């Protein structure tokens, strides 16, 4: 639902074609209602050609495409077309409706799955479609043997139950392919096998067991490593051979070698996975590589001796630390041009990381961390850390930055909100680089001086005793994100732009997603569903769908004694990149699928220092919640609640403005209620959708995780305390 789309849709388009399915045993007439006025069409005559002739009774001037409900003879589909021909309809055999299930939603290469279609009306045939070369069988079941070379991804299979007219309704099943015998995610540590100039090695560690599982020969003096967002490729910058090795992560072999500039060190990909960036230290350039063609598409001049690289969340900016001139180059990723002047930082900058509007730079020569606020004219805060900081990484929650201090065998932990050093963790000798596994529970530090990898328990704030991993002797490196796993954050508001009026708000904590869908029931009344546990695997998640009823109206004191939670089906979100997905679901036995995209409702403005995007509620009132999506100084709030009878209802504040985000944190906006939309399991029809302003809502945040929600609904005011929900 867009910020603008809910304001009005009062005009009903006359010329649309509306198809509606209606079944009633033994019916001899078509009845319909419009604006609570019922009409009927009697004396039905079904001709050989399928045309119905009838005499209209009642409000005969109402065009048929305004009908909100119809009843017709069992097994017939009524299609209402030209509104000027009142009573002209066509009938056809009811389309087969299918559901598709897989014997397993996760398999390994070489494994076998069985797909089963269950369709109504006994289809005359089945039409299968599938992804890539994974070929199903015939009939209503399909046995699929995945090739041993199948890549780690989510594959979609669809089936049509075809009737005698050659048409049907599609159903979809999604299957994720994982690696055989290993769980991952995997850490990739670059080091020299022997003395230069012999080729280096890439050691592969399964972080689920912390065991070495493979070793790959790469180029000379490998230093920078980054895992592609889809985990299918690993890129290694070889400083001694001026190349990038492209590793096929499914079988740990070198798939290609790309020539770049002199002495490449830092390496990074954008979040979409379409671009690879390499800092060429002795060329003073940045190579921009097309990850599909594996060709250098641009060579960009940066500062002297570039080392570290990071890309912002929107993939619009690339940040490069210039070791020999104490600056940070900022590259416009769209034009490939460096934005001048460069940003002055500390002495001998090394590692770079980005979180929200902040850029972090480890300054090895001044023993400091520079925190650059890009939303405030690049204002810089400096934090003292350990000696000679090199590697740097932000935890998945975005609350802390970890800095590996090469000179004193430690890792500094800095709180982002307060910009203060909060902990120092002892690790191995000469720590170089650092990365988190996807949940954020563990951080891995490469120790160049003793050929080990230290593992930090982030909740305990200390290295795990006896858990360091020994690597083949040689200098250890890891410029970049050298651990795979889901680092993509899908949190936010998702929708289908062609179906303005429903949506899915998604909260993500590490590798777990909580999805809530605001939609309608079969009568057009607002309702909502939740997927409260949707674990992310690679680029998809699957979870049970629940419907909740029996809660208390927001205008009354909470009483959860009558609350009932019912499982109504399951859903799968399959993401293709950061901003697009397929939402496949089965609700009350009926399957469906929607293409959705991350909604952008604000493209510029004032960037608040705290992002309040998340699921909020009251831990003492389990059963309702409000999901906030923040873009710049605007918050879109979706409130999942109940009416005075305990039925599920939802409200939205699509334009909740933050007047002074960092002075008086909070927002105020108009509260809307929407009715008359289509159920998820029905074709979308916006003709009856009505949006009504029912009051106002405001949020006042006392800190980044707590606040008060004040609201007025139909003239009655109330208030709730709210906090970020933990799941």
Could you tell me if residue 484 is inside a domain? no
pLDDT of residue 153: 56
Query: Tens digits of per-residue pLDDT, 412-423?
Result: 999 998 999 999
Could you tell me if residue 631 is inside a domain? yes
Tell me how far apart the alpha carbons of residues 387 and 73 are, in angstroms, rounded to a whole number.
Answer: 82
pLDDT of residue 76: 36
Specify the higher pLDDT residue, 125 or 151: 125
Residue 613 C-alpha from the chain's centroid: 13
Residues across the chain: 727
Domain end marker among 112, 146, 177: 177
Same domain for 328 and 215, yes or no, is: yes
User: What is the distance in angstroms between the CA of the first residue and the CA of the last residue of the chain?
Assistant: 26
Beta-bridge mates of residue 331 = 318, 338
pLDDT of residue 670: 97
Specify the higher pLDDT residue, 208 or 60: 208
How far are the Cα atoms of 92, 144, 715 from residue 170, in angstroms, in the given order? 18, 19, 46
Could you tell me if residue 145 is inside a domain? yes
pLDDT of residue 45: 42
pLDDT of residue 54: 40
Tell me how far apart the alpha carbons of residues 413 and 402 are, in angstroms, rounded to a whole number.
Answer: 5
Residue 716 C-alpha from the chain's centroid: 37
| Domains in the chain, number | 4
Please give, one letter per residue, the 3-state secondary structure of 568-607: EEEEEEEECCCCEEEEEEEECCEEEEEEEEECCCCCCCCC
Same domain for 105 and 226, yes or no, is: no
Q: How many CA atoms lie within 13 A of 601 on its CB side?
A: 26
Tell me how far apart the alpha carbons of residues 99 and 122 are, in angstroms, rounded to a whole number.
Answer: 13
Inform me whether the pLDDT recorded for 588 exceeds 60. Answer: yes
Choose from 63-72, 350-359, 377-386, 537-546 the range with maximum mean pLDDT: 377-386
pLDDT of residue 491: 87
Query: Tens digits of per-residue pLDDT, 640-671?
Result: 999 999 999 999 999 999 987 777 889 999 99
Token look-up 């890309």 returns 311
Query: Tens digits of per-residue pLDDT, 230-248?
Result: 777 899 999 999 999 999 8
60: left (phi over 0), alpha (psi -120 to 50) or beta: alpha
Could you tell me if residue 278 is inside a domain? yes
Specify the higher pLDDT residue, 450 or 424: 424
| Strand, coil or helix: 64 | helix
Same domain for 265 and 150, yes or no, is: no
Average pLDDT over residues 684-703: 93
Contact 653, 697 (CB under 8 A): yes
| Strand, coil or helix: 376 | helix
Beta-bridge mates of residue 227 = 234
Contact 166, 160 (CB under 8 A): no
Tell me how far apart the alpha carbons of residues 515 and 575 are, in angstroms, rounded to a whole number.
Answer: 14
Could you tell me if residue 491 is inside a domain? no
Beta strand 222-227 with 233-238: parallel, antiparallel or unpaired? antiparallel
Tell me how far apart the alpha carbons of residues 394 and 95 are, in angstroms, rounded to a whole number.
Answer: 52
pLDDT of residue 19: 28
The neighbour count for residue 497, using CB atoms within 10 Å, is 11
Nearest to 445 by CA among 460, 453, 436, 386: 453
Average pLDDT over residues 89-93: 39
Same domain for 384 and 532, yes or no, is: no
Specify the higher pLDDT residue, 334 or 319: 319
pLDDT of residue 60: 34
pLDDT of residue 694: 96
645: left (phi over 0), alpha (psi -120 to 50) or beta: alpha
DSSP 357: T
Q: Which of 126-135, 308-317, 510-519, 610-619 has the lowest mean pLDDT?
A: 126-135
Same domain for 160 and 210, yes or no, is: no
Domain span including residue 23: 18-93
Query: Tens digits of per-residue pLDDT, 694-717?
Result: 999 999 999 888 999 999 999 999
Query: Tens digits of per-residue pLDDT, 32-85?
Result: 443 444 444 443 444 434 344 443 333 333 333 333 333 333 333 333 333 443
- The CATH number assigned to the domain holding 246 equals 2.130.10.10
Tell me how far apart the alpha carbons of residues 227 and 621 are, in angstroms, rounded to a whole number.
Answer: 42
Specify the higher pLDDT residue, 364 or 5: 364
Could you tell me if residue 701 is inside a domain? yes
Contact 271, 315 (CB under 8 A): yes
- The CATH number assigned to the domain holding 157 equals 2.60.40.10
Q: pTM for the full model?
A: 0.56
Domain end marker among 177, 208, 232: 177
Same domain for 425 and 509, yes or no, is: no
Position 676 confidence tier, pLDDT thresholds 50, 70, 90: very high
Q: How many CA atoms lie within 13 A of 93 on its CB side?
A: 16
Could you tell me if residue 42 is inside a domain? yes
Query: Tens digits of per-residue pLDDT, 9-32?
Result: 222 222 222 222 222 223 344 444
Same domain for 526 and 675, yes or no, is: yes
Inform me whether the pLDDT recorded for 298 exceeds 50. Answer: yes
Could you tell me if residue 12 is inside a domain? no
Average pLDDT, the chain: 80
- Edge-first strand order for the sheet with 37-46 is 18-21, 76-80, 89-93, 51-57, 37-46, 30-34, 70-71
Inform me whether the pLDDT recorded for 95 exceeds 70. Answer: no
CA dihedral 639, 645, 648, 650 (to 10 degrees): -30
pLDDT of residue 417: 85
Tell me how far apart the alpha carbons of residues 457 and 166 are, in angstroms, rounded to a whole number.
Answer: 59
Specify the higher pLDDT residue, 705 or 554: 554
Same domain for 704 and 572, yes or no, is: yes
Inform me whether the pLDDT recorded for 134 exceeds 50. Answer: yes
Same domain for 119 and 240, yes or no, is: no
Same domain for 541 and 399, yes or no, is: no
Position 180 confidence tier, pLDDT thresholds 50, 70, 90: low
| Strand, coil or helix: 666 | strand
Query: Tens digits of per-residue pLDDT, 100-125?
Result: 777 766 666 677 788 888 887 778 78
Same domain for 51 and 132, yes or no, is: no
pLDDT of residue 210: 84
Tell me how far apart the alpha carbons of residues 208 and 16 are, in angstroms, rounded to a whole number.
Answer: 55
CA dihedral 421, 426, 428, 429 (to 10 degrees): 70
Specify the higher pLDDT residue, 639 or 228: 639
Q: Which of 113-127, 161-175, 215-229 has the lowest mean pLDDT?
A: 161-175
Beta strand 253-259 with 264-269: parallel, antiparallel or unpaired? unpaired
How far are the Cα atoms of 150, 314, 576, 711, 718 from residue 146, in angstroms, in the given order? 6, 35, 21, 54, 57
Q: How many CA atoms lie within 13 A of 3 on its CB side?
A: 18
Token look-up 């998604």 returns 506
Domain end marker among 128, 150, 177: 177
Position 687 confidence tier, pLDDT thresholds 50, 70, 90: confident
Tell me how far apart the alpha carbons of residues 319 and 331 are, in angstroms, rounded to a whole number.
Answer: 6
pLDDT of residue 155: 67
Percentage of the chain beyond pLDDT 90 is 46
Tell me how far apart the alpha carbons of residues 509 and 396 are, in angstroms, rounded to a whole number.
Answer: 8
pLDDT of residue 518: 96
Contact 428, 468 (CB under 8 A): yes
Beta-bridge mates of residue 176 = 106, 154
Inform me whether the pLDDT recorded for 392 exceeds 80. Answer: yes
User: What Rg value do the Cα atoms of the chain yield, rounded?
Assistant: 29
**655-660: long-range contacts (C-beta < 8 A, 24 or more apart)?**
655/3, 656/697, 656/698, 656/699, 657/633, 658/606, 658/608, 658/633, 658/634, 659/633
Phi, psi of 572 (to 5 degrees): -130, 130
pLDDT of residue 146: 72
The H-or-E segment that residue 186 falls in is strand 186-192
Q: Which of 286-290, 404-408, 470-474 has the lowest mean pLDDT?
A: 470-474
Token look-up 């030209």 returns 82
Same domain for 149 and 292, yes or no, is: no
pLDDT of residue 177: 64
């Amino acid at each position: 639902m867009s910020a603008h789309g809910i304001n009005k849709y009062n005009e009903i388009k006359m010329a649309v074609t509306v198809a509606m399915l209606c079944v009633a045993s033994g019916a001899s007439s078509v009845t319909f209602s419009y604006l609570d006025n019922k009409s009927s069409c009697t004396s039905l005559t079904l001709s050989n050609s399928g045309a119905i002739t009838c005499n209209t009774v009642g409000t005969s001037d109402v065009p048929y495409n305004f009908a909100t409900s119809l009843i017709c003879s069992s097994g017939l589909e009524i299609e209402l077309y030209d509104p000027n021909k009142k009573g002209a309809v066509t009938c056809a055999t009811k389309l087969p409706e299918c559901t598709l299930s897989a014997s397993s939603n996760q398999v390994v290469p070489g494994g076998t799955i069985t797909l089963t279609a269950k369709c109504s009306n006994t289809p005359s045939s089945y039409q299968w479609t599938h992804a890539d070369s994974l070929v199903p069988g015939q009939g209503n079941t399909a046995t699929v043997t995945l090739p041993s070379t199948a890549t780690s991804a989510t594959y979609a299979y669809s089936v049509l139950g075809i009737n005698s007219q050659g048409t049907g309704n599609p159903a979809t099943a999604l299957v994720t392919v994982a690696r055989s015998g290993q769980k991952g995610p995997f850490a990739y540590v670059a080091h020299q096998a022997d003395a230069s100039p012999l080729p280096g090695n890439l050691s592969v560690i399964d972080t689920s067991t912390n065991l070495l599982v493979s070793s790959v020969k790469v180029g000379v003096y490998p230093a920078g490593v980054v895992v592609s967002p889809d985990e299918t490729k690993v890129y290694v910058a070889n400083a001694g051979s001026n190349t990038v090795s492209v590793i096929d992560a499914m079988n740990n072999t070198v798939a290609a070698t790309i020539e770049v500039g002199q002495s490449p060190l830092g390496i990074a990909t954008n979040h979409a996975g379409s671009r690879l960036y390499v800092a060429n230290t002795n060329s003073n350039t940045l190579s921009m590589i097309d990850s599909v063609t594996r060709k250098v598409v641009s060579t960009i001049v940066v500062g002297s001796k570039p080392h570290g690289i990071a890309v912002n969340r929107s993939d619009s900016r690339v940040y490069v630390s210039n070791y020999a001139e104490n600056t940070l180059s900022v590259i416009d990723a769209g034009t490939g041009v460096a934005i001048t002047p460069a940003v002055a930082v500390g002495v001998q900058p090394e590692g770079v990381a980005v979180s929200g509007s902040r850029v972090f730079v480890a300054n090895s020569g001044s023993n400091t961390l520079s925190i650059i606020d890009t939303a405030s004219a690049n204002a810089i805060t400096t934090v003292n850390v350990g000696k000679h900081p090199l590697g740097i990484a932000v935890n998945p929650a975005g609350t802390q930055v970890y800095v590996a201090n090469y000179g004193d065998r430690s890792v500094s932990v800095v709180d982002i909100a307060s910009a203060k050093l909060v902990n120092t963790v002892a690790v191995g000798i000469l720590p170089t680089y650092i990365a988190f596994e996807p949940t954020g529970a563990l951080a891995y530090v490469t120790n160049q001086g003793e050929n080990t990898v230290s593992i930090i328990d982030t909740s305990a704030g200390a290295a795990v005793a006896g858990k360091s991993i020994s690597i083949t002797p040689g200098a250890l490196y890891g410029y970049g994100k050298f651990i795979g796993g889901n680092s993509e954050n899908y949190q936010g508001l998702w929708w289908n732009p062609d179906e303005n009026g429903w949506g899915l708000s998604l909260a993500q904590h590490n590798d777990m997603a909580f999805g809530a869908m605001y939609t309608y029931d079969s009568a057009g009344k607002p309702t909502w569903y939740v997927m409260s546990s949707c674990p992310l695997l690679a680029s998809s998640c699957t979870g049970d769908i629940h419907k909740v009823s029996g809660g208390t109206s927001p205008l009354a004191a909470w009483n959860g004694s009558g609350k009932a939670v019912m499982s109504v089906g399951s859903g799968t979100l399959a993401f293709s990149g950061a901003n697009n997905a397929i939402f496949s679901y089965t609700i009350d036995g009926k399957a469906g699928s929607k293409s959705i995209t991350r909604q952008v409702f604000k493209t510029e403005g004032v960037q608040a220092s705290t992002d309040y995007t998340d699921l909020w509620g009251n831990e003492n009132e389990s059963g309702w919640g409000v999901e906030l999506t923040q873009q710049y100084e605007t918050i879109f709030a979706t409130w999942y609640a109940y009416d005075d009878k305990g039925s599920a209802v939802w409200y939205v504040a699509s334009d909740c403005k933050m007047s002074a985000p960092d002075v008086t944190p909070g927002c105020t906006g108009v509260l809307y209620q929407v009715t008359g939309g289509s159920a998820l399991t029905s074709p979308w029809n916006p003709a009856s959708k009505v949006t009504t302003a029912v009051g106002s809502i405001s949020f006042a945040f006392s800190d980044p995780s707590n606040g008060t929600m004040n609201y007025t609904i139909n003239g009655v005011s109330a208030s709730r305390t709210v906090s970020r929900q933990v799941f």
